[in-house]
């Protein structure tokens, strides 16, 4: 698989480590009343679709940036690559 | 028809005209007591034990493709019971005992070959862990022998004992482990279930569940609606997709595990050998090919095929442990979809939907578990209570903080 890095251009997926579902960006509020349930869902009940999936990849053998890669789990086709930082900021996180 | 030497002689002398198809191909009835979704090893074993142990024969097995077309025919055929934790080891030891009597019980040749499995260790700490694991195995009634370097060298002189990075100090040997002809397991259970009256329905895909007021009353399928008192899902690899139809989210991700076979070689490798410092396991089939594998690719996928970097990684592991295989040529590569659960252990449980049962999350280890999985799942469905060796394999165990964390690594979906 080739991952089209937004800063570096196409890079071999072998340079990356995959962490999984990009939902891990949305860490629950630890002070919420139902924090235990929300952390259980955050940690254990991850998205597992047959088709388009957004997931976190870390460019370990490269510039060490985190990416959000949108990939088709039926064909391995990579549809979109964003910097995870941009995604996190757009979702209201400060970094 | 009962298979025996006498039967072979009789059929051979009469032109082999008397052999019958091994199972019927019935049309589905509109209603069953129990519908099993998934006609792989575990589903067929469940149907067999429901009929054979609990006398429940108003059962249908629904299979999307053909019987045994999924993971039961895509694994590396290894059977073993060398686990550590109380939530796992007694279950796998029950499985091993069922393997040992399987062919006589089913009257079917599954080529159960207890040629032994050796897990290598490469450091003092690993040796201590192997000794502890061996003791846990013996406590559960299994067998385990801790081999030192010399004893191991006698069995496997071809290993790279003096590897600079990972010298081999010995291995934990389970003599009763080994390999089984995987397709024959599916066929044997299918034949046994069919003979007891279970309907095996192929080319019938489940597309939804008939759920009202929190009670499951049947399934929607590509061959029409089928009503059932109890529905038992058993589709490891596609669990997320199928249970999604029932609106359930599972602590499971779908990944691909690749396996490899070389050209046929003369007998060289005595049993199953696993590398303790990387991830590589190998056995030699009766035809002579080396059957080996290693890590999953690591990303979520439903594609049943992996990528080449994993092949390279697995072969590097093989070269580190037994350089003699370096010139063997790989003939075939394939991938199977595995349910990776968040602690590397499986589920055999009811679901929040009444009348709907779930079996899945088998990670790397589904094949060896086939008999016990079917046995315990049948026990749960028939009696409503989990089998004593499978009480920890609950769907809510993460929420309760009671994972069966064999590796001690916390929640991540790449354990085994």
Mean pLDDT score, B210-233: 96
CATH superfamily of B33-81+83-107+182-252+343-390: FAD/NAD(P)-binding domain (3.50.50.60)
Q: Which CATH number fits domain B117-179+253-341: 3.30.450.20, 3.30.9.10, 3.30.70.1400, 3.30.465.10?
A: 3.30.9.10
Residue for token pair 């509109």 = B30
Of A13, A18, A50, the CB nearest to B241: A50
Judge whether B251 is closer than 8 Å to chain A, CB to CB.
yes
What span, in angstroms and rounded, lies between the C-alpha atoms of B319 and B138?
32
CB atoms inside a 10 Å sphere around CB A61 = 12
Radius of gyration in angstroms for the set of CA atoms belonging to chain A, rounded to a whole number: 14
- pLDDT of B344: 92
Q: Which residues of B touch A71 (CB under 8 A)?
A: 299
Q: Which residue of A has its CA nearest to B249?
A: A45
Closest CA–CA distance from residue A18 to any residue of chain B (Å): 6
Of B298, B300, B342, the CB nearest to A53: B300
Per the CB < 8 Å rule, is A44 touching B411?
Answer: yes
ipTM exceeds 0.85: yes
Phi then psi for A28, rounded to 5 degrees? -70, 160
Phi then psi for B37, rounded to 5 degrees? -95, 115
pLDDT in tens, B57-77: 999 999 999 999 999 999 999
Q: Which residues of B touch A24 (CB under 8 A)?
A: none
- CATH code: domain of residue A74: 3.30.2270.10
Per the CB < 8 Å rule, is A44 touching B307?
Answer: no
CB atoms inside a 10 Å sphere around CB A67 = 25
Of A17, A44, A73, the CB nearest to B300: A73
Spatial contact of B92 and B80, defined as CB atoms under 8 Å apart? yes
pLDDT in tens, B25-47: 999 999 999 999 999 999 999 99
Q: Which residues of B touch A21 (CB under 8 A)?
A: 253, 300
pLDDT in tens, B361-399: 999 889 999 999 999 999 999 999 999 999 999 999 999
Per the CB < 8 Å rule, is B303 touching A76?
Answer: yes
Q: Is the dihedral of CA B192, B195, B198, B203 positive or negative?
A: positive
The residues with which B404 forms a beta bridge, in sequence order, are none
What span, in angstroms and rounded, lies between the C-alpha atoms of B72 and B219?
24
Judge whether B236 is closer than 8 Å to chain A, CB to CB.
no
Judge whether A56 is closer than 8 Å to chain B, CB to CB.
no
Phi then psi for A30, rounded to 5 degrees? -75, -10
Burial pattern B59-82, b for ≥16 Cβ within 10 A else e, equals bbbbbbeebbebbbbbbbbbbbbb
What span, in angstroms and rounded, lies between the C-alpha atoms of A36 and A34?
6
pLDDT-derived band at B216 (thresholds 50, 70, 90) equals very high
pLDDT in tens, B67-113: 999 999 999 999 999 999 999 999 999 999 999 999 999 999 999 99
Q: Which residue of B has its CA nearest to A56?
A: B299
What span, in angstroms and rounded, lies between the C-alpha atoms of B169 and B174?
17
Closest CA–CA distance from residue B302 to any residue of chain A (Å): 5
Tokens representing residue B227 in the block: 């009503």
Per the CB < 8 Å rule, is B253 touching A45?
Answer: no
Judge whether B413 is closer than 8 Å to chain A, CB to CB.
yes
Count of alpha carbons within 13 Å of B178, Cβ hemisphere only? 18
Average pLDDT, chain B: 95
pLDDT in tens, A14-56: 999 999 999 999 999 999 999 999 999 999 999 999 999 999 9
Of A1, A21, A50, the CB nearest to B307: A1
Residue B264: Cβ-neighbour burial (10 angstroms; 0-12, 13-18, 19+): middle
Of A14, A20, A37, the CB nearest to B300: A20
Residue B164: Cβ-neighbour burial (10 angstroms; 0-12, 13-18, 19+): exposed
Closest CA–CA distance from residue B255 to any residue of chain A (Å): 9
Residue A74: Cβ-neighbour burial (10 angstroms; 0-12, 13-18, 19+): middle
Kindly report the pTM of this predicted structure. 0.95
User: CA dihedral defined by B298, B406, B145, B370, rounded to 10 degrees?
Assistant: -70
For residue A77, being part of any structural domain is answered with: yes
- pLDDT of B179: 97
The reply to whether domains B33-81+83-107+182-252+343-390 and B117-179+253-341 share a CATH topology is no
Of B241, B299, B303, the CB nearest to A18: B299
Mean pLDDT score, B136-163: 96
Of B250, B251, B303, the CB nearest to A74: B303
Q: Which residue of B has its CA nearest to A14?
A: B309
For residue A29, being part of any structural domain is answered with: yes
CA dist B416 → A2, B279, B303, B352 (Å): 28, 11, 20, 26
Q: Number of CB pairs < 8 Å for A and B? A: 59
Judge whether A43 is closer than 8 Å to chain B, CB to CB.
yes
Q: Which residues of A touch B254 (CB under 8 A)?
A: 48, 50, 73
pLDDT in tens, B270-292: 999 999 999 999 999 999 999 99
Per the CB < 8 Å rule, is A76 touching B298?
Answer: no
Judge whether A2 is closer than 8 Å to chain B, CB to CB.
no
Q: Which domain holds residue A82?
A: 2-90
Q: Which of B204-208, B248-252, B287-291, B407-411 has the lowest mean pLDDT?
A: B407-411
For residue A85, being part of any structural domain is answered with: yes
Q: Is residue B416's pLDDT more than 60?
A: no
Q: Which residues of A touch B303 (CB under 8 A)?
A: 73-76
Judge whether A11 is closer than 8 Å to chain B, CB to CB.
no
Tokens representing residue B26 in the block: 């019935």
Closest CA–CA distance from residue A50 to any residue of chain B (Å): 6
Question: What residue segments make up the domains of chain B, in order of their start?
Answer: 33-81+83-107+182-252+343-390, 117-179+253-341
Per the CB < 8 Å rule, is A55 touching B251?
Answer: no
Helix (H, G, I), strand (E, B) or coil at A35: helix
The domain total for chain A is 1
- pLDDT of B414: 62
**H, E, C per residue of B156-193:** CCCCCCCCCCCCCCEEEEECCCEECCHHHHHHHHHHHH
What span, in angstroms and rounded, lies between the C-alpha atoms of B55 and B52?
6
């Amino acid at each position: 698989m080739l991952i089209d890095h937004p800063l570096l251009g196409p890079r071999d997926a072998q340079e990356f480590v995959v962490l999984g579902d990009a939902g891990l960006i949305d860490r629950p509020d630890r002070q919420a009343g139902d924090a235990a349930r929300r952390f259980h869902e955050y940690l254990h009940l991850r998205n597992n679709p047959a088709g388009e999936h957004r997931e976190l990849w870390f460019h370990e053998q490269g510039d060490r940036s985190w990416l959000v890669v949108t990939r088709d789990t039926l064909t391995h086709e990579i549809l979109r690559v964003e910097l995870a930082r941009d995604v996190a900021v757009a979702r209201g996180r400060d970094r | 028809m009962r298979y025996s030497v006498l039967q072979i002689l009789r059929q051979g002398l009469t032109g082999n005209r008397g052999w019958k198809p091994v199972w019927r191909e019935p049309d589905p009835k509109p209603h069953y007591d129990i519908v099993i979704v998934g006609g792989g090893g575990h589903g067929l074993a469940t149907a067999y034990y429901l009929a054979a142990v609990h006398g429940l024969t108003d059962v249908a097995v629904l299979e999307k493709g053909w019987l045994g077309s999924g993971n039961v025919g895509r694994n590396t055929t290894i059977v073993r019971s060398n686990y550590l934790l109380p939530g796992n080891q007694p279950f796998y030891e029950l499985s091993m005992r069922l393997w040992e009597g399987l062919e006589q019980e089913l009257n079917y040749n599954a080529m159960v070959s207890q040629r032994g499995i050796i897990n290598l260790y490469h450091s003092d700490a690993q040796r201590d862990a192997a000794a502890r694991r061996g003791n846990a195995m013996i406590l559960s009634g299994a067998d385990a022998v801790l081999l030192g370097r010399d004893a191991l060298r006698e069995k496997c002189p071809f290993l790279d004992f003096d590897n600079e990075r990972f010298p081999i100090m010995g291995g934990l040997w389970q003599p009763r482990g080994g390999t089984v002809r995987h397709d024959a397991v599916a066929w044997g259970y299918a034949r046994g279930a069919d003979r007891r009256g279970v309907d095996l329905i192929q080319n019938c895909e489940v597309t939804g569940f008939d759920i009202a007021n929190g009670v499951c009353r049947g399934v929607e399928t590509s061959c029409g609606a089928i009503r059932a008192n109890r529905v038992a899902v058993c589709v490891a690899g596609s669990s997320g997709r199928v249970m999604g139809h029932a609106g359930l989210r599972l602590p499971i991700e779908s990944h691909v595990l690749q396996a490899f076979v070389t050209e046929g070689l003369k007998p060289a490798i005595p049993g199953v050998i696993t590398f303790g410092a990387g991830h590589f396991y190998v056995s030699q089939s009766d035809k002579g090919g080396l059957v080996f594998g290693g890590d999953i690719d690591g990303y979520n996928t439903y594609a049943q095929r992996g990528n080449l970097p994993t092949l390279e990684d697995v072969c590097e592991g093989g070269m580190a442990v037994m350089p003699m295989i370096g010139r063997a040529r790989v003939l075939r590569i394939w991938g199977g979809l595995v349910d990776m659960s968040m602690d590397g252990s499986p589920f055999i449980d009811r679901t929040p939907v009444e009348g709907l049962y779930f079996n899945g999350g088998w990670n790397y280890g589904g094949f060896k578990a086939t008999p016990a999985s079917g046995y315990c799942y049948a026990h749960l469905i028939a009696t409503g209570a989990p089998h004593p060796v499978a009480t920890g394999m609950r769907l809510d165990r993460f929420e309760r903080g009671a994972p069966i964390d064999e590796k001690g690594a916390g929640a991540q979906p790449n354990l085994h």
